[in-house]
A = this chain, B = another copy of it.
Amino acid sequence: MKFVIQRDQLIASVQDVMKAISPRTAIPILTGMKIEAHTHGITLTGSDSDISIESYIPVEEDGNVYIEQLEPGSIVLHARYFPDIVRKLPEKTVEFEVDHLHQVTIKSGRAEFKLNGQDAEEYPLLPKLQTDDSFEVPIDLLKNMIKQTVFAVSTMETRPILTGVNVNLKEKGLNFTATDSHRLASRAVPIDTNLEFSNIVIPGKSLNELNRILDDAEETVEVSVTENQILFRTKHINFLSRLLDGNYPETSRLIPTQSKTIIQAKTKDLIQAIDRASLLAREERNNVVKLTTESNNFLEISSNSPEVGHVSEEVSVHKIEGEELKISFSSKYMLDALKVIESEDIIIEFTGAMRPFIIQPVNGENILQLILPVRTY
């Protein structure tokens, strides 16, 4: 196995694949990165057995030659050293050669590394997806859907199914829902496909890594789903994640269908006032702030911490309709929800101080954020 490769291409691929590699893994060889040279390019593979990432560098693309002097073969290199070595090589090209004892020689300029590799035959075979069905999503849209829901997954292992995002595809509508049972976040978008599936739950961790790896420069990602795996495929990357076992709870009945108080406000004004009010309460786990409706389209946002002090702020809003309201909630949950709504204005609908309330953008996007209030008496 041998090749001469452009260092920048190799660095980018190594960085992507590293996102799947964990130094703590039950299968020692998975702390390594598999490198395969085929006739048409190089494939790097990393996996922690939950997530697997393959990155492909073609010999040539758009008239640019990335790889020369290619002789096929494969090797596994320890991922603890390889990325830093590649990043710090002195020249723009890197010569990579493997001998029959799995010793890898990496040369660039006058620098020469000889690393002990491992036989690629010992690297586990990644499961192949048993489906040709797939649909396409614009990358920026998928990244938004992830960002707007994944923060609400549970971090507790007591109900493992809630650590994932529930994904449904029905009647040309793709829907993401996450809840940790104190709050819920969902987003729906139209998709041009006849595929349908339900009760697919993707681990939140996988979606966070996917969001980090997806390149805004590419336009769409192709998605294939089987019973226990999901594959996201772009031009250069295959991102495979296992799915969570179990039944995702029915969440639609949690969402109130009527409201008693409706507030329409500037998203940014509310974020800043709640952020300030949360400053005094940050030591407590659910740093609670209180929202009180006032006359003349003003809200009061306030918080009290007996030891530290008191904070209050009047916020001017577009309108307040319905009953007067005093309600307390976690400032963290509220800020998480408000920050992912990319709309200048929002509507909040309340059904009393003890009932969950919902936040939606006024820009027409199908986003719903639900938060359970906190009892403070």
Interface residues of A, Cβ cutoff 8 Å to B: 78, 81, 84-85, 88-90, 103-104, 110-116, 272-273, 275-276, 279-280, 307-315
Cβ–Cβ contact B88 & A275, under 8 A? yes
16 A/B residue pairs, CB under 8 Å, sorted by A: A81-B279, A84-B279, A85-B279, A88-B272, A88-B276, A88-B279, A90-B272, A90-B276, A110-B314, A111-B273, A111-B276, A111-B313, A113-B280, A114-B311, A115-B309, A116-B309
Shortest C-beta distance, A231 to chain B (Å), equals 33
CB-CB nearest in chain B for A273: B111
Shortest C-beta distance, A335 to chain B (Å), equals 12
Distance, CA A301 to CA B315, complexed state (A): 64
Contacts of A273 in B (CB 8 A): 111
Extra pairs beyond A113-B280, A114-B311 (9, CB < 8 Å): A88-B275, A90-B276, A110-B315, A111-B311, A113-B309, A114-B309, A115-B309, A116-B307, A116-B309
CB-CB nearest in chain B for A103: B309
Contacts of A78 in B (CB 8 A): 308
Distance, CA A88 to CA B278, complexed state (A): 11
Contacts of A89 in B (CB 8 A): 276
Contacts of A104 in B (CB 8 A): 309
Shortest C-beta distance, A33 to chain B (Å), equals 14
Cβ–Cβ contact A312 & B81, under 8 A? no
Contacts of A116 in B (CB 8 A): 307-309
Contacts of A314 in B (CB 8 A): 110
Contacts of A81 in B (CB 8 A): 279-280, 308-309
Distance, CA A280 to CA B82, complexed state (A): 9
* Pairs of residues from A and B, 10 with the lowest C-beta to C-beta distance, nearest first: A115-B309, A111-B313, A114-B310, A110-B314, A113-B311, A114-B309, A88-B276, A84-B279, A116-B309, A110-B313
Contacts of A310 in B (CB 8 A): 113-114
Cβ–Cβ contact A312 & B112, under 8 A? yes
Shortest C-beta distance, A300 to chain B (Å), equals 10
Distance, CA A350 to CA B83, complexed state (A): 34
Shortest C-beta distance, A113 to chain B (Å), equals 5
Cβ–Cβ contact B276 & A85, under 8 A? yes
Distance, CA A361 to CA B312, complexed state (A): 59
Contacts of A114 in B (CB 8 A): 309-311
Contacts of A312 in B (CB 8 A): 111-112
Contacts of A307 in B (CB 8 A): 116
Q: Identify A313's interface contact among B112, B115, B275, B279, CB under 8 A.
A: B112
Distance, CA A94 to CA B351, complexed state (A): 37
Distance, CA A311 to CA B86, complexed state (A): 13
CB-CB nearest in chain B for A314: B110
Contacts of A276 in B (CB 8 A): 85, 88-90, 111
Contacts of A313 in B (CB 8 A): 110-112
CB-CB nearest in chain B for A109: B313
Distance, CA A116 to CA B308, complexed state (A): 6
Distance, CA A85 to CA B116, complexed state (A): 54
Distance, CA A129 to CA B314, complexed state (A): 48
Contacts of A311 in B (CB 8 A): 111-114
Contacts of A308 in B (CB 8 A): 78, 81, 115-116
Distance, CA A279 to CA B308, complexed state (A): 48
Contacts of A272 in B (CB 8 A): 88, 90
Shortest C-beta distance, A263 to chain B (Å), equals 17
Distance, CA A81 to CA B116, complexed state (A): 52
